[in-house]
Amino acid sequence: MVNGYQPVSLQEALNIKAEHRVTIYGGGTDLMVGKDKPDTYLFVNLIPEMKNIIEDQDYIRIGAAATFTEVLENSLTSQILKDAISLIAAPAIRNLGTMGGNIGNGSAKADSVLIHYAADAKLRLASVRGERIVNIDAFYLGRKKLDLAEDELIVEILLPKNGLDNYYYQKVGGRKALAISKVAFVGIFGMEGDRISKLSIAFGAVADTVLRFKEIEAIMIGKTLEEAKAQKQVFLDAYEKAIVPISGRVSSEYRKETCLNLLNDFLQQNHI
């Protein structure tokens, strides 16, 4: 028997979260397979503001309670996000699992979160005390540690609309469907004139959080392709040092080697 509250407005949900000990329930696909089952849930699937997928001038705003299937079927969703979501689990899980749940689970293997890191997505968080917007990389404080207060909800994901067209995405799993990432990689590239204007690279399922090293990316920004080629070894060496994988089901050596191979493929795709 699953007990809980099912508010129909954001304000109602925030009041309940402030007053009661409740666990937010998106689609339950992580919660229901967990060992400890909370007593009381806050179901967020009837809150219009958390279901909407809309756009403003700069962002696609994806409600945290939107399911993967709803995001996949929406014409506003960028292809890079569709590529990642279409490889999550299988249709039955995608029909239930939500964008907010993928983030709230706190896993570095969460496939949509990898895209949010590389795209510089932001989260809109709300509580009865007010709202705040945080960058996705600042939201993850460590393994399963989130910058989310006890009374807060993830309401929306703000995914930039522009600059995401030229990308290289790979999910390395044990099989074609229902595969949890062993390593996941995304790189986004852009040129303005003959100079590199955008290079963002993120690695998933490698460490306690998704990894992104903006200081290493900066080596290539502003360079011509010829200059970038000359810097390539320095660039790869910097990643070699920076990536410190954890080992578990997959060895840290395998993870590191796969990361560097995928990085190299991404650079080659962009003539570096």
Ligand X SMILES: Cc1cc2nc3c(=O)[nH]c(=O)nc-3n(C[C@H](O)[C@H](O)[C@H](O)COP(=O)(O)OP(=O)(O)OC[C@H]3O[C@@H](n4cnc5c(N)ncnc54)[C@H](O)[C@@H]3O)c2cc1C
Among 2-10, 25-33, 222-230, 246-254, the segment contacting ligand X (CB under 6 A): 25-33
Among 94-102, 162-170, 223-231, 235-243, the segment contacting ligand X (CB under 6 A): 94-102
Rule CB under 6 A: is residue 30 a binding residue for ligand X?
yes
Provide the strand spans (E) within 64-182: 122-127, 130-135, 140-142, 145-146, 153-160, 167-172
Q: Where are the alpha helices (H) located in 211-271, listed in sequence order?
A: 214-217, 225-242, 252-269
> Considering only residues 161-180, where is the footprint of ligand X by CB under 6 A?
178, 180
Rule CB under 6 A: is residue 60 a binding residue for ligand X?
no
Rule CB under 6 A: is residue 231 a binding residue for ligand X?
no
Select 7 or 100, whichever has its Cβ closest to ligand X: 100
User: Given the DSSP bridges, would you call strands 53-55 and 23-25 parallel, antiparallel or unpaired?
Assistant: unpaired
Select 183 or 216, whichever has its Cβ closest to ligand X: 183
Rule CB under 6 A: is residue 63 a binding residue for ligand X?
no
Give exposure, 110-131, as e/b (b: 16+ Cβ within 10 Å): bbbbbbbbbbbbbbbbbbeeee
Cα gap 24→15, rounded to integer Å: 13
Rule CB under 6 A: is residue 24 a binding residue for ligand X?
yes
Question: Of 66, 71, 80, 100, which one interacts with ligand X (CB under 6 A)?
Answer: 100
Rule CB under 6 A: is residue 110 a binding residue for ligand X?
yes
Rule CB under 6 A: is residue 89 a binding residue for ligand X?
yes
Minimum Å distance from CB 247 to ligand X?
20
Cα gap 47→162, rounded to integer Å: 28
Cα gap 126→148, rounded to integer Å: 10
Rule CB under 6 A: is residue 64 a binding residue for ligand X?
yes
Single-letter code of the amino acid located at 12: E
Number of residues that bind ligand X (CB under 6 A): 29
Q: What is the DSSP letter of 176?
A: S
Rule CB under 6 A: is residue 225 a binding residue for ligand X?
no
Cα gap 238→148, rounded to integer Å: 32
Rule CB under 6 A: is residue 47 a binding residue for ligand X?
no
Rule CB under 6 A: is residue 199 a binding residue for ligand X?
no
Sheet architecture: strand order including 195-204? 167-172, 183-192, 195-204
Cα gap 151→166, rounded to integer Å: 38
Select 27 or 245, whichever has its Cβ closest to ligand X: 27
Rule CB under 6 A: is residue 235 a binding residue for ligand X?
no
List phi, psi (to 5°) of 236: -65, -40
Select 88 or 210, whichever has its Cβ closest to ligand X: 88
Rule CB under 6 A: is residue 153 a binding residue for ligand X?
yes
Which residues contact ligand X by CB under 6 A? Answer: 23-31, 33, 44, 64, 88-89, 93, 96-98, 100-102, 104-105, 110-111, 153-154, 178, 180
